[in-house]
Amino acid sequence: MDTKPQLEFQRLPVVLERHGVSRSLHLLEITRGRFTPAVKIGRCALWPKHEVDALLAAKVNGATNEQLETLVTDLMAQRKALMPASIRGAA
C-alpha cells in the first residue's frame, strides 16, 4: 500500500494573498530561488500547500535569503520524491 501523503494545491491568487506580495515580486522571488516554482498541470499553475506553508513560516520566523534558498532546494528535492516527473515543475 502506498503511504505517500495526499497533496493539496493552491492557485496563484491564493498564494499571493497568503504571501502578501504582488505577482511581480512573487515571480521575482521564484527567479531568485527564494520561493518554489509552480507545478504546471495543464494550463494551471499550482503550488503545493505544504511548500507555501513552510516558506511563509520561515519568512515569519526571520529566515535570511540564504536560508530561504536552502529551504527551496530542500522542498524541490522533496517534490521530486513525491510527484511524478510529468507534474513536478521546474527543477
Q: Is residue 3 part of a domain?
A: no
> For residue 2, is it within any domain?
no
Range of the structural domain that residue 60 is part of: 9-82
Q: Write out pLDDT tens, residues 13-39.
A: 999 999 999 999 999 999 999 999 999
How far apart are alpha carbons 49 and 87 in whole angstroms?
A: 15
CATH, residue 48: 1.10.1660.10
Q: Give me the number of domains the chain comprises.
A: 1
Within a domain: 1: no
Q: For residue 86, which amino acid is it?
A: S
- The model carries a pTM of 0.84
Share of the chain above pLDDT 90, in %: 73
Grid coordinates standing for 42? 495543464
CA–CA dist 84, 82 (Å, integer): 7
